[in-house]
A = this chain, B = another copy of it.
């Protein structure tokens, strides 16, 4: 039974439209693709018929001929992470403006699954690949991390790294100057008299390694030792972080530099649980300038690494490249420290 006044919604194909408008399928194809060599009259006629019957070209058939489906693959370790989510949301929105669809893959941090993600996405005949997060830079969770799979993908389609850095042909990196920002932040801590800075992270990635470099460089500049015991890695769930910190009761530190806001909030919770005053007894710095940083009490001093900026630069690159223009292989971006209440500098 059909609804009252509704037209029967049967999918039409190019032949139907051609017949209905009294032209050949080639002509229909031309107007669909906006070819200039169609007379105004025919064009309008065809357009009218397409409109009337609500015709949509079949993407598969079109893809078969063209070998492209106006689709861009996005891979990130985990969209439920606030930083990733913001980046993906932003990418998706901008890319859609340009008429591209996004296929999303969450790969986690394991090498094997990252390779699989790239593999599967490549089979989808995507036009470009965007990798969000510096985990895709050979610093995965397991030793054997290699970026070969990315370089291989780049042989076929352009690969864009957001906050990652791989050099290779057809690979384009936009990343934060994390080393620099971390150096500044930790220096601030040391300048304010802190001696033992806990380095808190939740993964090992290029970005984390940069942050650690900055951390170590600052320590060295202040003639302080780099202590392995002061480097901790754990999942970035607030209560979990607090509890782990509480359990490590013999570990001494007067400040925390976290590679992610949620970790820093965990440290804040730890301070509360121990009755430590912030920033007097414990000074804390987060990373990402996420909503978490204004959620806790006191609010976090954090590093703003504006994923929007990285995303925008990347999208510019994508569009340029797809239009055949030249694009820079590497774009480093400066991050700013947002001073709030968990530090006294």
Contacts and interface: CB of A to CB of B under 8 A. Distances in A.
Interface of A: 9, 56, 58-61, 63-64, 67, 69, 71, 78-82, 85-86, 88-90, 92-93, 96, 101-106, 120, 122-125, 152, 155-156, 237-239, 262, 265, 269, 272, 291-292, 294-297
Nearest to A155: B9
A310 to B, nearest CB: 15
A307 to B, nearest CB: 10
26 contacts: A9-B152, A9-B156, A56-B122, A58-B64, A59-B63, A59-B125, A60-B60, A60-B63, A60-B64, A60-B67, A60-B125, A92-B105, A92-B106, A101-B105, A102-B103, A102-B104, A103-B103, A104-B104, A237-B291, A239-B294, A262-B295, A269-B294, A272-B297, A295-B295, A296-B296, A297-B297
A81 B82 CA distance: 8
A124 B101 contact: yes
A78 B85 CA distance: 9
Number of copies: 2
Contacts of A239: 294
Nearest to A265: B295
B80 A86 contact: yes
Nearest to A101: B103
Given A89-B106, A104-B102, A69 B60 contact: yes
A113 to B, nearest CB: 10
A291 B236 CA distance: 10
Given A124-B59, A295-B292, A89 B96 contact: no
A96 B122 CA distance: 15
A93 B106 CA distance: 7
Nearest to A307: B80
A91 to B, nearest CB: 10
Given A60-B125, A102-B104, A295-B296, A79 B88 contact: yes
B103 A238 contact: no
B64 A61 contact: yes
User: Which 6 pairs, one residue from A and one from B, show the smallest C-beta to C-beta distance?
Assistant: A297-B297, A60-B63, A80-B89, A85-B85, A295-B295, A60-B64
Contact of A238 (B69, B120, B295): B295
Q: Which of A63, A80, A82, A89 has the most CB of B within 10 A?
A: A80
Contacts of A89: 78-80, 106
Contact of A120 (B92, B101, B296): B101
A345 to B, nearest CB: 22
A61 to B, nearest CB: 5
Contacts of A69: 60
Q: Which of A60, A123, A155 has the most CB of B within 10 A?
A: A60
Q: Which of A9, A82, A156 has the most CB of B within 10 A?
A: A82
